[in-house]
């Protein structure tokens, strides 16, 4: 009996000693303390400590944990810790290649740590060469690359207005296969734009099948977002048909119903997409939170046949007296679809005196019709415009779908390049309560990573790359507008890219920590 009592006492003492034993020290480079973690997977916010080791997240701990030792401890009390946003549709490649704009700071200040380039059919064909250039220069954000159908066409057959021959198809397929082997994320198309608009559906199917062999995606600016050619619903159906035939994930770029003719069709598109999803087709989309689209004046209004071949050929047709009646009729109809000359705002032009004026105002100043003013402007040079052509109801309807993620489609001359993510946060999450903060973050990070097959990014999770943002949602300031489109967002207190602090207490550190994703 006494022996049993002694054994029990010894066991109790051992258990007590084991329970009181301290945990082994966990060593990290950086430790974020005091913050509210929103991990990106849709789960509710929780108070956590987040540890970073080199370029990875190496631990997530309870607030009371005391066994972590870090070279740098950063107190982020009262702030949200979230995964860096992933923008699936940007036009930032020229900035990233630049010696002066490669920091991509207009994205970093929005909380975007990874951007996708090569959208709308314009992606680089030579993946390795592009990757080498970007890494040699240093880049502020991570970047993923799509291969553009339009770029493939231009390299193989120029801007000729016809279908590809079998030989040309084989050449495009070979170029795409090489880029996919090197690490491209997929194929993009811009079937609204020249020269993609000259291709038939089968041409795109054949190329999408190449991307599918490498588990790539098909990202498309559909052939028509309005009633310019085949119509909005048939254009969505064409994209679905391509994805079905190629057995590939379909991503609908900057989903919208553009122009008065198709306002209200968001419901039909949603029903069509979800019907196909229920049948097993993988489909997603992205959207920027603005009522105005942005493009070049000639892309918005010029008939596609006029723009074929070279710039010289384009301008020759535009000045040919024999073609004016036909050009004017088609221009007038395209202008009507976009809401008329008063809905076209000039946002960027070599002659700054035009910026901030509508096409209607310019036409009046010149004492010309809107059609004649359009042709004159196009002949003068590249004109970027904002086109106010979307309904608030359609924008909000698309935004609330679980398969629609956040994007910018960022281009010069439009505030979306500087403020799309904060605009959505302020206007649609905090003001209108269309979704929770957790949902907004998920659709700006983890969901995008999933749809684009980006590994180990988009969530705060051990062994994921340390792309992290720290901010107070109520202190985010949207400063860009249509009058002043290139003003940086304010409010991101810390931004980490691959474990490096690139924004430290609201200030850019001049560290270029971005990598090309492959």
Q: Tell me, yes or no, whether 360 and 439 share the same domain.
A: no
C-alpha 503/C-alpha 295 separation (Å) is 31
β-bridge partners, 497: 500
> Of the ranges 31-40, 129-138, 263-272, 296-305, which one carries the lowest mean pLDDT score?
296-305
Q: Tell me, yes or no, whether 102 and 200 share the same domain.
A: yes
β-bridge partners, 148: 188
Q: Tell me, yes or no, whether 281 and 174 share the same domain.
A: yes
Q: Is the per-residue pLDDT at 171 higher than 70?
A: yes
Q: Is the per-residue pLDDT at 14 higher than 90?
A: no
- DSSP H helical ranges for 381-425: 392-399, 416-423
List of residues 6+ apart from 49 with CB closer than 8 A:
31, 32, 33, 59, 60, 61, 62, 63, 65, 68
Q: Is the per-residue pLDDT at 1 higher than 70?
A: no
- Please report which confidence band the pLDDT of residue 21 belongs to, taking 50, 70 and 90 as the band edges: low
For 491-517, write each residue's pLDDT tens digit.
Answer: 999 999 999 999 999 999 999 999 999
Q: Tell me, yes or no, whether 108 and 251 share the same domain.
A: yes
**Greatest alpha-carbon span in the chain:** 116
Q: Is the per-residue pLDDT at 388 higher than 60?
A: yes
C-alpha 28/C-alpha 49 separation (Å) is 12
CA 27 to chain CA centroid, nearest Å: 36
For 421-464, write each residue's pLDDT tens digit.
Answer: 999 999 999 999 999 999 999 999 999 999 999 999 999 999 99
- Domain annotation covers residue 47: no
* pLDDT number for residue 441: 98
- Please report which confidence band the pLDDT of residue 16 belongs to, taking 50, 70 and 90 as the band edges: very low
- Please report which confidence band the pLDDT of residue 22 belongs to, taking 50, 70 and 90 as the band edges: low
Q: Tell me, yes or no, whether 303 and 340 share the same domain.
A: yes
Q: Tell me, yes or no, whether 287 and 301 share the same domain.
A: no
C-alpha 176/C-alpha 127 separation (Å) is 10
User: What is the residue range of 318's domain?
Assistant: 295-388
What does the block give as tokens for 16? 């007590």
C-alpha 86/C-alpha 83 separation (Å) is 9
Q: Tell me, yes or no, whether 286 and 314 share the same domain.
A: no
- DSSP H helical ranges for 21-148: 93-97, 105-108, 127-137
Of 436, 454, 472, the residue that ends a domain is 454
User: What average pLDDT does the structure give for the chain?
Assistant: 94
Rounded average pLDDT over 317-324: 93
Give 308-321 as a DSSP string.
-S-HHHHHHHHH-G
Q: Tell me, yes or no, whether 359 and 346 share the same domain.
A: yes
Rounded average pLDDT over 153-174: 97
Q: Tell me, yes or no, whether 187 and 315 share the same domain.
A: no
Q: Is the per-residue pLDDT at 229 higher than 70?
A: yes
- Domain annotation covers residue 7: no
Burial of 312 by CB count in 10 Å (0-12 exposed, 13-18 middle, 19+ buried)?
exposed
* pLDDT number for residue 251: 98
Which CATH number does the domain housing residue 199 bear?
3.20.20.140
* pLDDT number for residue 10: 44
Grouping H, G, I as helix, E, B as strand and the rest as coil, residue 146 is strand
- Domain annotation covers residue 402: no
C-alpha 39/C-alpha 31 separation (Å) is 16
Rounded average pLDDT over 248-271: 97
Of the candidates 177, 182, 176, 150, the residue with the CA atom closest to the CA atom of residue 164: 150
Q: Is the pTM of this model over 0.85?
A: yes
Share of the chain above pLDDT 70, in %: 96
End-to-end CA distance of the chain: 69
- Domain annotation covers residue 486: no
For 351-379, write each residue's pLDDT tens digit.
Answer: 999 999 999 999 999 999 999 999 999 99
Q: Tell me, yes or no, whether 100 and 245 share the same domain.
A: yes
CA of 154: how far to CAs of 160, 255, 322, in Å?
A: 9, 26, 29
Q: Is the per-residue pLDDT at 121 higher than 70?
A: yes
Q: Is the per-residue pLDDT at 291 higher than 90?
A: yes
- Domain annotation covers residue 314: yes
Element (H, E) at 275: helix 266-278
In the sheet that 292-296 helps form, which strands lie side by side, from edge to edge? 292-296, 384-388, 344-348
* pLDDT number for residue 308: 87
* pLDDT number for residue 260: 92
- Domain annotation covers residue 459: no
Q: Tell me, yes or no, whether 170 and 89 share the same domain.
A: yes
What does the block give as tokens for 419? 């403020």
- Domain annotation covers residue 10: no
Of the candidates 481, 476, 457, the residue with the CA atom closest to the CA atom of residue 39: 457
List of residues 6+ apart from 455 with CB closer than 8 A:
449
Q: Tell me, yes or no, whether 260 and 313 share the same domain.
A: no
- Residue where the block lists tokens 């279908």: 163
Judge contact between 295 and 387, C-beta under 8 A.
Answer: yes
* pLDDT number for residue 340: 93
Judge contact between 203 and 163, C-beta under 8 A.
Answer: yes
Of 454, 474, 508, the residue that ends a domain is 454
- Please report which confidence band the pLDDT of residue 23 belongs to, taking 50, 70 and 90 as the band edges: confident
Number of domains in the chain: 2
Grouping H, G, I as helix, E, B as strand and the rest as coil, residue 447 is helix
β-bridge partners, 209: none
What does the block give as tokens for 49? 């400590």
DSSP E strand stretches across 326-397: 344-348, 384-388
Of 408, 433, 454, the residue that ends a domain is 454
- Domain annotation covers residue 491: no
C-alpha 391/C-alpha 398 separation (Å) is 11
Rounded average pLDDT over 399-424: 97
* pLDDT number for residue 99: 86
What does the block give as tokens for 468? 């992290």
Of the candidates 292, 226, 302, 220, the residue with the CA atom closest to the CA atom of residue 264: 226
Between strands 468-471 and 80-83, the pairing is: antiparallel
Rounded average pLDDT over 22-33: 93
């Amino acid at each position: 009996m006494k022996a049993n009592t002694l054994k029990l006492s010894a066991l109790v003492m051992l258990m007590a000693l084991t329970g009181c034993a301290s945990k082994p020290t966990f060593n990290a480079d950086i430790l974020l303390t005091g913050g509210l973690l929103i991990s990106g997977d849709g789960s509710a916010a929780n108070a956590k400590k987040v540890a970073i080791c080199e370029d990875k997240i190496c631990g997530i701990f309870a607030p009371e944990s005391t066994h972590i030792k870090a070279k740098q401890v950063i107190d982020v009390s009262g702030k949200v810790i979230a995964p860096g946003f992933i923008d699936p549709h940007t036009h930032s490649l020229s900035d990233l290649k630049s010696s002066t704009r490669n920091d991509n700071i207009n994205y970093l200040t929005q909380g975007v740590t990874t951007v996708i380039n090569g959208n709308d059919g314009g992606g680089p064909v030579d993946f390795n060469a592009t990757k080498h250039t970007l890494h040699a220069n240093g880049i502020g954000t991570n970047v993923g690359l799509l291969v553009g159908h339009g770029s493939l066409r231009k390299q193989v057959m120029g801007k000729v207005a016809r279908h590809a021959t079998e030989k040309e198809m084989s050449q495009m397929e070979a170029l795409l296969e090489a880029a996919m082997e090197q690490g491209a994320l997929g194929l993009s198309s811009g079937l609204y734009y020249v020269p993609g608009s000259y291709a038939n559906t089968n041409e795109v199917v054949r190329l999408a099948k190449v991307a599918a062999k490498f588990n790539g995606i098909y990202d498309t600016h559909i052939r028509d977002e309005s009633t310019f050619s085949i119509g909005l619903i048939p254009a969505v159906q064409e994209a679905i048909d391509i994805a079905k035939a190629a057995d590939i994930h379909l991503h609908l770029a900057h989903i919208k119903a553009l122009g008065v003719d198709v306002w209200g069709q968001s419901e039909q598109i949603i029903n069509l997409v979800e019907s196909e999803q229920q049948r097993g087709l993988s489909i997603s989309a992205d959207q920027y939170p603005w009522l105005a689209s942005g493009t070049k004046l000639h892309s918005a209004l010029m008939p596609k046949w006029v723009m074929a071949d070279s710039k010289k050929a384009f301008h020759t047709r535009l000045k040919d007296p024999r073609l004016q009646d036909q050009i004017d009729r088609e221009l007038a109809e395209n202008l009507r679809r976009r809401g008329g000359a008063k809905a076209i705002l000039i946002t960027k032009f070599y002659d700054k005196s035009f910026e901030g004026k509508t096409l209607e105002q310019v036409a009046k100043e010149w004492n010309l019709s809107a059609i004649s003013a359009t042709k004159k402007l196009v002949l003068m040079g590249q004109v970027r415009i904002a086109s106010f052509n979307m309904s608030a109801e359609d924008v909000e309807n698309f935004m609330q779908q679980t398969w629609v993620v956040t994007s910018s489609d960022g281009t010069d001359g439009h505030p979306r390049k500087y403020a799309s993510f904060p605009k959505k946060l302020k206007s649609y999450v905090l003001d209108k309560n269309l979704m929770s903060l957790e949902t907004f973050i998920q659709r700006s990070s983890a969901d995008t990573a999933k749809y684009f097959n980006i590994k180990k990014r988009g969530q705060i999770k051990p062994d994921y790359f340390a792309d992290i943002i720290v901010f107070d949602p109520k202190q985010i300031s949207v400063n860009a507008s249509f009058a002043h489109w290139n003003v940086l967002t304010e409010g991101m207190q810390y931004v980490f890219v691959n474990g490096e602090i690139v924004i430290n207490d609201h200030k850019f550190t001049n560290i270029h920590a971005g990598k090309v994703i492959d």
